[in-house]
Structures are given as structure tokens and as C-alpha cells.
Amino acid sequence: MPILGLPESFKSTGPVHFDIERVIRPNILSLHPYRCARDDYKEGILLDANENALGHSISSPADASEINATLELNLHRYPDPSHDPIKERIAALRSITGVDHVFLGVGSDEVIDLLMRVCVAPEREKILITPPTYGMYAVCAQVNDVGIVKVPLELSGAKGEGGTAGRFSVRLNEIKKAVDADPSIKLIFLCSPGNPTGTLIPLSSIREILDYPGFKGIVIVDEAYIDFAGADASAVSLVKEYANLCVMQTVSKSFGLAAIRLGIAIAQPPLIQILSNTKAPYNISTPTAHLALSALSPSAVDAMQSKINTLIASRTKMLQSLSALADLGLGPSVGGNDANFIVVPVLSRDGTKPDNVRSQKVYKSLAEENGVVVRFRGNEPGCEGCLRITVGSEEENEVVIRKLTEVLQQL
């Protein structure tokens, strides 16, 4: 079996008795890695990765002094293995009881990997996912050699308000049927707001799964985009009631700190302690910790919230601008629009249905000829013909609307 990413003509050099393909586990050899937003294009107006286009919020003199202190740190020493000051600020921000409810990982991806490693037995047990959803759940499952049960979201119908019903809502009865049929399912991954759907899952739906006696495992709610969904949207409010709940968050999106790779798990102390017992000894670097501490200061959080409000207002304006392109073959947005991105289908020439071929042409033309990078999502279930466009700065949004108009006119 060829190693994905290596040219077939590549030949290893000696010794003759060694064959790496006999050493690597079969599930790793067959692995298709997660495809990052920057795999295709790295330059231009980058509205493809759902970053915070307005940047981080570490700007006040008090915050700057904390950053400057980083230069005076004892970088020859290993970092704090627990980082309780960061956890204290997260606990205060999210109204959590204490630091024993918070775990820090190298991005949410480390949390996903750890949860699978501590909960799901390789080759014997499984996770459940709800496509279309974040691709790393499936990649991490294959790396850990655990099975995947797929219960797609509702893929038809109109979108519901706030994810309450309709397209991309969670099919609760189908999830219950799946766990009843397969007791080896240990984890259920729910993305809220969804990626790529942008749809918020109502807390009532999450409660229904948590309360279902047929499921004996843990429900993981991935809330990378939760700060764009409005007040009282987070499942963190349920943690005090449910020991079978783990909520993941991140500083990558609303905090504008994707580069420092800091993910957060919030759960009751027993699960947090298990994750802490299992992680690498010094998983969070000292520079990352100091930047995160600065970003979680009261003044920085206020600035972050102001930027969120700006992006939400820009999201509304952008939706209006995109809807004006209907005559050029752009369909109405799909999903709940509860995150910092918008998903819109490019339609066939006669305007009757989503068209992946035409959408790919728009995607490539925007990036290669117009310097605007969005993301093609047409291969995801229920997303045929769709482009995902991150809400950018006011200037970036104006450019993407203008360039998208020009490209659609040319087609």
C-alpha cells in the first residue's frame, strides 16, 4: 500500500531487510489526514479557516505588560504542568465552579484525541458523529483504530431558527436507535454551532441525549464558535447537572488566537482528572500560557466581546449582500448562521439546484484570479455546491462580495 503523500516513484534506501509498511499499523497506512483550509491557498484575503478576521484583543497597557513579561520568563525551565491561573480566568468567564472543572489541551484536537484514548477501546468500541461535522473526529478515530457510527443531521428542508428544527438539526430519534443497536458506542460528538453548518444545537436536544438511559457513554459538545451564537447558548450551563457531559471550547475563534493552539475541556472533576492524568507532562508551553492569560484578562475579554458584536453585525450585513446575488445563481444561505461564517450554495445555470462543478469554478477563480480564498464544502453531506465564507473585516467583506459578483457574472 503506498504511503499517502509520497510520490509512487519514491524508493527508500537500505537496509534491504527493512520495509516501513510492515511496521506501520494498517489503519495508519490507510489514513486520509485532515485537510486543512490552507492546503490549497495560503495568500490573499483569507476567509477560509473561520479565524477571527479582526485579530486578537490583547491591546491594553496592562495586557501588553503581561506579554512583555514573557520575554523575561525562565524559558530554560519546563512550563507549569497545571496552569491554574488560566483555569481560574476560564472558570470565572464561563461561570464554572472551579479549576477542577477545566482541562487545557494543545488545541481542541488534543482533547478529542485524549477522550478517544481514555474512553474507547481500539478495534472493539466506537464513537458516534453527526455529518456534516468537523473532520477531525473521524480522522482521530481512525488514528486510534476505533469504529465510527454516522447519524447524519437532517439534510433536507428549510433551515430552522437557531437550529431548533429543519435542515441540519440533530435527529434525536435516530441517535437513540443507533446507541440502542450498538452498545459499543462510548462517545457522541456534537458540534454546536456546527462546522460547516453554522447551526446551534438547542440545549433541550443535548439534554435529551444526556438523559437517555440507553446511552452509557459521554456526550462531547464542541463549542469552538459558541461566542458568536448569543447569550445562554452554551452547554457549559449543563455541566453541573451531568457527569456524562464534556464541553470543548477554544481561544482560536472568538479570542483570535488560533496560532497559540489552546483548547479547553469543561466537565465534572472525575473526567477532568482522568484527562489530566493521561496528558503529556508539559503539554501547554509557557509562551502560549502567558498569551492566553493576557487574552483572558477583564479588559481583553471586553475588547473580544466588542469584536464579536462587530462580526455578528457584519454577518447580518453580509447575508443581505449575498442574498442580492440570487439572480446570478447564488442560493440562499444554509445552516443556522450562528457562527462567524456563512454557507451558500452556487446553483446550476438554470438556478434549479446546487452545482458542485460550477461551485468549484467559482472557488478556484476567486482564489487564483481574484485573491479571495473561501472554502469549498460541496463534498459534505447536505452541502452540495456550497462555499463557506468566513466573516471578515468590513473591507474584506466588501471585496469578497464584489469579486464574487464579478466571478458569477463571468460564469
Cell numbers found for residue 182: 450498538
pLDDT digits (tens, 9 = 90+) for 46-65: 888 888 888 888 875 545 55
Do residues 74 and 65 make contact, with C-beta atoms less than 8 angstroms apart?
no
| Cα separation, 185 vs 121, whole angstroms | 10
pLDDT band at residue 161 under the 50/70/90 scheme: very low
Higher confidence at residue 393 or residue 15? Answer: 393
What are the backbone dihedrals phi and psi of residue 222, each rounded to the nearest 5 degrees, phi first? -90, 110
| Cα separation, 224 vs 133, whole angstroms | 12
pLDDT at 92 over 80: yes
Contacts for 411 with CB less than 8 Å, ≥ 6 apart? 329, 358, 361, 362
CATH superfamily of 45-57+301-410: Aspartate Aminotransferase, domain 1 (3.90.1150.10)
pLDDT at 4 over 80: no
What are the backbone dihedrals phi and psi of residue 396, each rounded to the nearest 5 degrees, phi first? -65, -40
- Strand order of the sheet with strand 126-129? 102-105, 263-267, 245-250, 218-222, 185-191, 126-129, 147-150
Per the document, the length of the chain is 411
pLDDT of 48? 86
Higher confidence at residue 11 or residue 191? Answer: 191
pLDDT of 163? 40
- Strand order of the sheet with strand 341-345? 341-345, 386-390, 375-376
Cβ of 275: how many Cβ atoms within 10 Å? 20
Choose the weakest-confidence range: 32-46, 57-71, 228-242: 57-71
pLDDT of 147? 97
Q: Which residue has the cell 488514528?
A: 143
Choose the weakest-confidence range: 20-34, 64-78, 297-311, 380-394: 64-78
| Cα separation, 304 vs 56, whole angstroms | 7
pLDDT at 23 over 80: no
pLDDT at 371 over 60: yes
Do residues 188 and 176 make contact, with C-beta atoms less than 8 angstroms apart?
no
Do residues 342 and 315 make contact, with C-beta atoms less than 8 angstroms apart?
yes
Third-level CATH fold of 66-296: Aspartate Aminotransferase; domain 2 (3.40.640)
Cell numbers found for residue 260: 497559540
Query: What are the boundaries of each domain within the chain?
Result: 45-57+301-410, 66-296
Cβ of 190: how many Cβ atoms within 10 Å? 23
pTM of the model as a whole? 0.90
Instruction: Give the type of residue at 209.
Output: I
Higher confidence at residue 281 or residue 12? Answer: 281
Cell numbers found for residue 64: 501588553
| Cα separation, 167 vs 158, whole angstroms | 5
Three-state SS letters, the chain: CCCCCCCCCCCCCCCCCCCHHHCCCHHHHCCCCCCCHHHCCCCCEECCCCCCCCCCCCCCHHHHHHHHHHCCCCCCCCCCCCCHHHHHHHHHHCCCCCHHHEEEECHHHHHHHHHHHHHCCCCCCEEEECCCCCCHHHHHHHHCCCEEEECCCCCCCCECHHHCCEECCCCHHHHHHHHHHCCCEEEEEEECCCCCCCCCCCHHHHHHHHHCCCCCCEEEEECCCHHHCCCCCCHHHHCCCCCCEEEEEECCCCCCCHHHCCEEEEECHHHHHHHHHHCCCCCCCHHHHHHHHHHCCHHHHHHHHHHHHHHHHHHHHHHHHHHCCHHHCECCCECCCCCCEEEEEEECCCCCCECHHHHHHHHHHHHHHHCEECEECCCCCCCCCEEEEECCCHHHHHHHHHHHHHHHHHC
pLDDT band at residue 162 under the 50/70/90 scheme: very low
Choose the weakest-confidence range: 91-95, 155-159, 259-263, 274-278: 155-159
pLDDT digits (tens, 9 = 90+) for 175-224: 999 999 999 999 999 999 999 999 999 999 999 999 999 999 999 999 99
pLDDT band at residue 263 under the 50/70/90 scheme: very high
First vs last C-alpha separation in the chain? 41
pLDDT of 43? 83
